[in-house]
Amino acid sequence: PEDVHPDHVAASQLVDGAVLRSEATRLGLTVTDEAVRAALMRIPAFQANGSFSPNLYRETLRSQGLSPSAFEASVRDDLLEA
């Protein structure tokens, strides 16, 4: 509906994500390291000349104030919710 406030949509999405992660944990579902690596390799921001660039990956994360481990945990959560 047109009267739905963007903040309510964002809050609802956060709650949905938390519920999905909780249920996945309860069921023992996990995302493998290989699945996280594959997802990282598909992100265009980390590609140079059509392939994954580890240096570009590290530089991009550093410029955003993110550590690889924190970013990879976020990707793992995203994949778990998908």
Q: How far apart are CA 47 and CA 53, in angstroms?
A: 5
**pLDDT given for residue 62 in this prediction:** 97
pLDDT at 2: 60
For the chain, the 3-state helix, strand and coil shares in percent, each to the nearest 5, are: 70, 5, 25
Q: How far apart are CA 39 and CA 37, in angstroms?
A: 5
pLDDT tens digits in sequence order for the chain, 82 residues long = 566 677 767 776 767 777 877 777 888 888 999 999 999 999 999 999 999 999 999 999 999 999 999 999 999 988 988 7
Q: Which pLDDT does position 67 carry in this prediction?
A: 97
The whole-number pLDDT of residue 51 equals: 96
Whole-structure pTM value: 0.72
